[in-house]
Amino acid sequence: MNIMVIGGGGREHAVIRKIKENPLASKIYVLPGNGGIARDAECVNIKATDIPSQVQFALTHDVDFAIVTPDDPLVLGAVDALEEAGIPCFGPKKNAAIIEGSKIFAKNLMKKYGIPTAAYETFDDMQEALKYLETAPVPIVVKADGLALGKGVTVAMTREEAVAAVKDAMEGRRFGESGARLVIEEFLEGPEISVLSLTDGETILPLSSSMDHKAAWDGDKGPNTGGMGTIAPNPFYTRAVAERCMNEIFLPTIRAMKEEGRPFKGCLYFGLMLTKDGPKVIEYNCRFGDPETQVVLPLLKSDLLSLMLAVRAGRLKNYKALQKEGCAACVVMASEGYPTSYKKGFELTIPESLWPDVYVAGAAVKDGKLVTNGGRVLGVTARAETLREALAKAYEKVEQIHFENAFWRRDIGHRALEPEE
């Protein structure tokens, strides 16, 4: 089977490693991939958002199945274009990817179908948003409606910060058109939980729960990043919480999407907060999370490619997503200065024995050598019986990987150890 994966980060590397466990995956192309993923798949120099070239490539290379993982091609309609050209795909169509592509859509969906989430108002007029803020309680959260590279959310501790965020988005157009409309919502408190699930629009199979670490520095300080590390499963996601999430959030969401004529097929990511009133949705993503995937897939016992094909065929009800015992931890090694500005082009040394646990996010091959080529460079995953052991093993591996300018958080998983103790 010739498989084409769209994307080129650590998440795509983890997806490719996992589908390679199935001998059916005889040939894997990745568009564009990166210098590290090149060890596991054939990289093709086509951008993740260049949909016409992807269609052309698939048609001329006998691609049997395409897996679209990043948010922007999904929101732009990559799956629609490929399916129209006769290429079966894993991933939601454009009309379902809007669950991530528009926060206003997502919030209105939750309101209409009674899915628990923070109370909110939406605005397309700056003066009205500013007027609302005059009397709204703080802290308060300001969110750009559209995709904003994970930077469209401001948790404002003061009214001034909230006003600045509104002006930045609506007047300064910091996120372009994505900030032309805003959601302003209630500030929620509690542990955060990510749940990635596979769904064909009827059946939903949650994979292992996980915990992301979005802040750049230790102690959850510093600017927001794409994610500096993850652990799975998330100890706050107890059996009782999981049951509530299934009944109050997961099933109602896929039913709501079907009811709206937007059946969701693919990986639906629930960003949840466990508040004192129960689990609430912070965000939906229409795709696998990064770096959640780098801990969730290593814990998946079932065959991912079979599950993905079942999602496409609408036959997921005949499948289970079985999990392995134990825990996983992933520590992201980044370039000093990320997410603001950083240097790249430094040689990477990775012991051969570690490669199966390394997921490369930003590296390129230059003069035959692997060099850094991004803010997040790679993630190192370890599995063990307990979370504490998995973390110790992951950090041991980090110490054996070298590149100039490397930095990583030293406290991944610390909050998750608290409930154990």
185 binds ligand AMP (CB under 6 A): yes
Among 81, 141, 156, 331, binds ligand AMP (CB under 6 A): 141
Q: Pick from ligand AMP, ligand GLY, none: which does 185 bind, CB < 5 to 8 A by kind?
A: ligand AMP
Least distance to ligand GLY, CB of residue 353, Å: 28
Q: How far is the CB of 304 from ligand AMP (least distance, A)?
A: 24
Q: Which does 192 bind (CB under 5 to 8 A by kind): ligand AMP, ligand GLY, none?
A: ligand AMP
- Considering only 285, 294, 335, 381, the residue that binds ligand GLY (CB under 6 A) is 285
Measure Cα distances from 206 to 201, 264, 266, 268, 360 in Å: 13, 14, 12, 9, 25
For ligand AMP, the binding residue among 82, 96, 188, 281 (CB under 6 A) is 188
289 binds ligand GLY (CB under 6 A): yes
User: At closest approach, how far in Å is the CB of 37 from ligand GLY?
Assistant: 17
Strand partners, 4: 29, 66
Contact between 292 and ligand AMP (CB under 6 A)?
A: no
**Cα angle: 98, vertex 175, 254; to 5 degrees:** 15
Choose among ligand AMP, ligand GLY, none what residue 61 binds, the Cβ cut-off being 5 to 8 Å by kind: none
Among 80, 192, 292, 357, binds ligand AMP (CB under 6 A): 192
Cα separation, 9 vs 358, in Å, equals 12
What mask, x for binding ligand GLY by CB under 6 A, covers residues 212 to 251?
A: x--------------x------------------------
Nearer to ligand GLY, 96 or 295 (CB): 295
Instruction: List, in sequence order, the alpha helices (H) in 213-303.
Output: 239-245, 251-259, 293-296
34 contributes a contact to ligand GLY by CB under 6 A: no
Backbone angles phi, psi at 231, to 5 degrees: -135, 155
Q: Is 100 in the site for ligand AMP (CB under 6 A)?
A: no
How many residues touch ligand AMP under the rule CB under 6 A: the total is 14
Which parts of 282-357 fold into alpha helices (H)? 293-296, 304-313
| Closest by Cα among 30, 70, 32 to 293 | 70
Q: Which of 145, 192, 200, 292 binds ligand GLY (CB under 6 A)?
A: 292
CA 89 to chain CA centroid, Å, is 19
Residue 303 interacts, among ligand GLY, ligand AMP, none and using kind-specific CB cut-offs from 5 to 8 Å, with none
Instruction: Compute the CA torsion angle 178, 182, 184, 188 (nearest 10 deg).
Output: -20
C-alpha span between 100 and 166 (Å, rounded): 20
Residue 315 Cβ, how far from ligand GLY at the closest point, in Å? Answer: 27
d(CA 273, CA 271): 7
Is the backbone peptide bond immediately before 88 cis, with ω within 30 degrees of 0? Answer: no
289 binds, among ligand GLY, ligand AMP, none (CB under 5 to 8 A by kind): ligand GLY
**In angstroms, rounded to a whole number, what is the distance separating the alpha carbons of residues 311 and 323?**
18
Report the Cα 71 to chain-centroid distance in Å.
9
Distance CA 158, CA 204 (A): 39
Position of minimal CB gap to ligand GLY: 289
Interacting residues with ligand GLY (CB under 6 A): 150, 212, 227, 285, 289-290, 292
By the criterion CB under 6 A, which residues form the site for ligand AMP? 118, 141, 150, 153, 155, 185-188, 192, 214, 271, 282-283
